[in-house]
A and B are shown apart, each in its own frame.
Chain A
Amino acid sequence: MNVPFRPIISALFRNRAGALLVAAQVAIALAVLVNAVYMVKQRVDLINRPTGIDVDNIFVVGVQGFTKDFDYRAMLDEDISWLRSIPGVIGVTATNSVPLSGGGSSDYFKLTPDAKTGGRDALVNYFHFNEQGADALGLNVIAGRWFTREEVQPPGGTLYAVYSGPIVVTKDYADRMFPKGDALGKVIYGSSSQPLTIIGIVDHMIGSWPVGVDYPTQIMYMAFEPAGPGTRYLVRTQPGLRDQLMRKVEAELGQRNVKRAVNYVRTLKLYQDRSYLTQRNMSIYLIVVTGLLMAITSFGIFALATFNVSTRTKQVGTRRAVGARRRDVVAHFLVENWLITTVGVFVGCVLALAAGHLLSLQYDLPRVDLYYIVGGVVVMWLVGLAAAWHPSRRAARISPALATRTV
């Protein structure tokens, strides 16, 4: 195949406005593509992080006592034992807040009773769970043990009630407080200098705030019934039974005690989805807009190639008349187009890096990885080739006889 580069380049210079416009589109498209894909990747990674929780098989029941003579303790005992009696239920715990929901409690704890500030400034997200907490969430206890029934303390007067006793923590929190990895059995102290003893370590869990905090996996579990008069139960079922058991609970739980209302029965998945809603919507938006952008850009390349072919019909006929083969013509236009795309790609790389730099600077996003740019360049080249393919083929079909005709 004989591709005459020099004539192509000089032809490009003659229609440089059109070529530059397409190159500009390619440049912006590449910059957006690279950064958008990178941002989507970050979000998808965030959403798909392992939670450490058996999210798909858990549902949440919200109950609230409202009468004046309401006995909160009795309700807790009744409800929990009834829920546990349902066949297919693996574990039930009351909780002060729903994991993954975006709402919860956190506090600082100290390494010594008289320390002025929290140990290593590590905030921890804490949960009040009962003896089935680990089962109710599907947590993996990798060291020590979970609480026994006897260790679970009765509810305090308010949600801020002070707790003292055995605790279980996630490995992330344990390592933060005790970097040597010897957290098990250690005692830490609350703000009232009350002691808490680490009796177990859970390998991993995302707590109340999947997004928005820098300590999502630093969790502490206290053997504590949450304060009333309302609370939530986390119910974990055997795989596949969740929806069926939710309907049963919704229908029957309310009638068991008319002094309290069953506010809702929801899947834990709903809470998780809601927490990631912004991330997910942002990703969808980025994907849709980037997709449209690629479509528009490839259409722009297509239109320029078509225009170039149509204004050079006679020239192509002449080339054919003097002996150019069809594939020479195709190659001519593809190379011409490739040159345009490549100019755009080079400018686009600079733009992509600049945009990435700006985003990382202004919005604390990590800098875009270089191999995303390489991928973007390859994609743009392929898009350019694909968009120019059809017009080039059409050019190849121009008859050599055209050269002798006056148009």
Chain B
Amino acid sequence: MIINHRLSRDAFIALGHGGGDPAVIQDLVEAQYSKHLMLLHAVAEAADAADPSDPVTAAFQAGFSLMARVQAADSDAAAWQLGLPQIGAWAHDCLTSLDQGSLPDFGYVACAAVAAAVRAGITFQLAVPVHDGRVLLPGLGCLFIADQLSWIRLSGDGVRLTAGNDIDLPYAALIADDGRGTLLPQWQGTPLIRAVADGHAWDVLLETHDRYLDRYAQRMPTALTADEITKWRHIIESAWLVLVRRHSWVAASLATGVSVIVPLVPESDLDSATTPAAFGAIATSLPPDPVMMAETLVHEFQHLKLCGLMDMLPLIRPSEETVYAPWRQDPRPVGGLLQGVYAFLGIVLFWGAQRRVETDPDDVLRAEVMYERWRSTMELATGSLLATSALTPTGARFVNLIREQGLSLESESVPAEAREMAREVALDHWLTWQVRHNAFDTAGVASLAASYHRGEPLLDRTLPEGRIAEETRKVDSATRSRLLDMRHLDPRRYRELCAAGVPGLSKADALLINGQDSAAVCAYRDEIACDGRQPEVWVGLALAVHRHQASSPLRQVFTTKLPLMFDVYACLSQQGIRSDPLDLAAWLA
């Protein structure tokens, strides 16, 4: 009788607190192995119903049989092969193809079976597909095929692999490339990074050839040069050292759960990604330094852990709800917010440890602000999640564990300068998001504007209720926002830019960035008086008011009612009525 995987209460709690030791991660890994087998079985059922004379169907049947033989002879080799993230991704894509009525890529399983057979020293004979002159053996590398063929028959006698007249290679040479072997003309091993620090090892593949891992928003490079591979080796090895020495809470767990790094062609300063279809793979562009690589690994590993957990236990129900996420410019679905807050819990834990070991003042500042910035979002984001109706009871328990961990970090002290920077960056994000996505009923705004114009007191009047909309107002504040972030993310560059003068800043923004807060308030008011239709100027005014009027009730109004103020002001302007934003704020206060 088959029973389902189980997860202990302690493992659930450890994951909810952002951790999970290697044994817990192994539970997730083994559940993924079962998931891959389950999906492989679903694909096998479809292959049974397909045309047996089709070469792809025949390849699948032969590959499936070979994999079963490998499993019987060497279960570890089969488990390693079938547990690879690309196998999960392939199986996922097969199911999607079947659901769409198209033929899945059955032939891939033959390649995976050959890779497993080579690892296990098993005999075989079967045809495999050739793509662009290569036969991919997932997790091992590529055979180069000289002839222009779409299929080739491979034979293995348990010691050597042969194909056609050209290829005759020992199994022992068909291995991933750890940088120490000899190069063969017909074989390219997948780069394997063997990172070792203080006796702790992590073996991870650097995959650029398997198309099932080319599935992220940014593309995978078609190939890496030897120099590029060397750079990746160095940064991953250095990041591993950072993790082992400074973040022992996560290092061994990460080594248990992450088997593949997928390089990405960057489209920004840093891009990284994971998908539940490929558990165990982290995709990332090359980070600027080992600490950022370590942070990226921790961040993406959080996503992987949650993906693995959500495969095992439903945490959310289907829902159309969208909510504010303190790290995104768009309203997010509940699942997106849950993934994000869990990733940031890892980031908070990372910077919480990192801030204690940095010595360079710029690095200390970055660590302190990052810690404070994301620590302060835990309560907000978990509160938003718990207020939705999309969490299952297990999901609500899990979010409460995240929240509990966030609250436990609240008592940690952070230097005042870092705290203020973190709060201002968070405020800028919140204000910008609100102005961009909060929409109001036009009649309600008009009525409020009329009351203000008549000089009526606000008293207990009910204000128009905002709703979340896709993009209500376009906010063009990227330069200012990036400068505010750059203060802690790249202080040296920030100082250089400030010294040289930043192009593209308005007079008011320049005053704000230079810390001339009172003058900035005046300048933003002047800009609004000239043209009050630019939301980014209102956000700038709110930031300046926050800095300049520390104890004023206006701060609260600017924090919570900025989009409404903007709409009321616009309504009055359309009627030719001039008003002052601070006076309007005082009325709303």
A pairs with B: no
**B residues with CB within 8 A of A:** none
